[in-house]
């Protein structure tokens, strides 16, 4: 598995965050910066991060996965700690400067005569300045801990006005972005399947980025299909299937019982009603306009679909929803974003800062709907208000919800 990009990303963040922390300490919290202990701790944190990344890379190349996982976790903990300090140090700096101002004013007045000193207020300011970084770092630790919680498997009803009556109540288990390898394992897929069995899903759909360690992909597909849903298990591709080796991925799918829908689709008869499931290919590229590619792959995937069928599209990239809505797709299931891994009230925390972007949750365009899952795995072990999820989507007639 290639880990060069996660390592470069972590090292870049580590370097940038360390520099910002040094600047914030020296110029905004000069009182603390004068302490030799504080300076040594500030220097020790990035050193620990660099050592952790070295352990991460070396142990992974030596196939010592548990040690690689430990190294990566420590590196992420360092980055999260630095981020917490970046957020909190400006506030601490303000409180420290207020405290220093009051101290100087009290000293001047004391020189000119007795003064009643408000020691309680000054002690509060001093304590609050120290408490702010502790709160942010504790929150960061909670986000790391919550990334290791079990996946939330739950019923998610979606209403469709013109849903064929035969499809009313159809349940679809949506699994996306496990990224099996360092942070997630086959036991996580087993846990999801065990939880989903309670809902008796009729279909299981996998929308990409299944395994970063491709040796785990065959068993992951086998476990995902073990529910034996009445209408089958299907999969589409994500960008990580290409990153890890698309040829090996395709060979694994060819040997499995899970059909891979790659710019293709299949019609399923559900008690006389047609359900058409299509799978979009992935454009691989991260930072360019992929609309033309997505339009072409979705159009090919829908080729042959009956006009009166209920159209369901698996598109790892949520931006495929724009093209899907143009083609009249009823439901698009997507992943890829991980919800930004930070959420609030069931939406991505980053949504107000990224207008027009699809990040997490339900979206609508006319009669077309999309559910963009926060996924199971993550880029790095941190989730806050955005738990791993594998929803069981239930199609519900507009008259029955």
The yes-or-no verdict on residue 38 having pLDDT over 80 is yes
pLDDT value for 1: 45
Whether 313 shows a pLDDT value over 50: the answer reads yes
| Range of 34-38, 134-138, 217-221 with top mean pLDDT | 217-221
CATH topology of domain 155-397: Purple Acid Phosphatase; chain A, domain 2 (3.60.21)
Name the range with the highest mean pLDDT among 13-22, 62-71, 159-168, 380-389. Answer: 159-168
pLDDT tens readout for residues 259-274: 999 999 999 999 999 9
| Alpha-carbon distance values, 398 to 149, 154, 365 (Å) | 35, 21, 16
Residues 6+ positions from 113 with CB-CB distance below 8 Å? none
Q: pLDDT over 70 for what percent of the chain?
A: 85
Q: What is the per-residue pLDDT for 2?
A: 55
Q: What is the average pLDDT score of the chain?
A: 87
Kindly tell me if the per-residue pLDDT of 12 is higher than 80. Answer: yes
Residue 101 pLDDT exceeds 70: no
Query: What is the domain partition of the chain in residue ranges?
Result: 4-146, 155-397
Q: Which residue has the higher pLDDT, 33 or 174?
A: 174
Tell me the pTM.
0.79
User: If we measure between CA atoms, which residue out of 157, 175, 167 comes closest to residue 225?
Assistant: 175
Per-residue model confidence as pLDDT tens digits over 198-229: 999 999 999 999 999 999 999 999 999 999 99
According to the model, what pLDDT value does residue 109 have? 63
CB atoms near residue 26 (< 10 Å)? 14
- Please determine, for residue 125, whether its predicted confidence score (pLDDT) is greater than 60: no
């Amino acid at each position: 598995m290639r880990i060069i990009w996660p390592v470069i990303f972590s090292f870049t963040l580590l370097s940038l965050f360390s520099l910002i922390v040094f600047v914030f300490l020296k110029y905004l919290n000069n009182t603390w910066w004068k302490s030799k202990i504080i300076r040594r701790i500030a220097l020790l944190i990035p050193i620990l991060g660099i050592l952790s990344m070295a352990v991460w890379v070396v142990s992974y190349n030596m196939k010592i996965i548990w040690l690689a996982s430990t190294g990566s976790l420590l590196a992420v903990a360092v980055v999260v700690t630095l981020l917490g300090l970046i957020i909190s140090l400006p506030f601490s700096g303000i409180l420290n400067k207020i405290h220093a101002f009051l101290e100087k004013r009290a000293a001047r007045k004391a020189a000119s005569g007795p003064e009643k000193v408000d020691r309680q207020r000054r002690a509060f300011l001093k304590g609050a300045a120290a408490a702010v970084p502790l709160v942010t770092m504790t929150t960061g630790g909670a986000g790391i801990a919550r990334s290791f919680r079990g996946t939330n498997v739950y019923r998610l009803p979606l209403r469709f006005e013109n849903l064929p009556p035969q499809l009313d109540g159809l349940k679809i288990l949506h699994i996306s972005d496990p990224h099996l390898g360092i942070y997630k394992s086959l036991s996580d897929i087993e846990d999801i399947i065990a939880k989903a069995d309670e809902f008796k899903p009729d279909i299981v759909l996998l929308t990409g980025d299944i395994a970063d360690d491709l040796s785990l992909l065959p068993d992951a597909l086998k476990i995902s299909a073990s529910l034996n849903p009445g209408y089958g298990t299907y999969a589409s591709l994500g960008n990580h299937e290409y990153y890890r080796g698309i040829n090996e991925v395709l060979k694994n799918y060819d040997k499995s019982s899970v059909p891979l829908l790659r710019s293709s689709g299949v019609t399923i008869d559900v008690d006389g009603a047609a359900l058409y499931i299509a799978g979009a290919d992935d454009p691989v590229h991260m930072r360019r306009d992929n609309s033309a590619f997505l339009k072409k792959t979705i159009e090919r995937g829908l080729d042959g679909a009956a006009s009166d069928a209920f159209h369901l599209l698996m598109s790892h990239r949520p931006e495929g929803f724009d093209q899907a809505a143009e083609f009249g797709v009823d439901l698009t299931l997507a992943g890829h974003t991980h919800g930004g891994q930070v959420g609030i009230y069931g939406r991505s925390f980053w949504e107000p800062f990224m207008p027009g972007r699809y990040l997490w949750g339900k979206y609508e365009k006319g009669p077309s709907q999309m559910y963009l899952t926060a996924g199971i795995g993550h880029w790095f072990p941190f989730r806050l208000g955005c738990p791993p999820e594998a929803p069981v989507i239930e199609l519900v007639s507009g008259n029955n919800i």
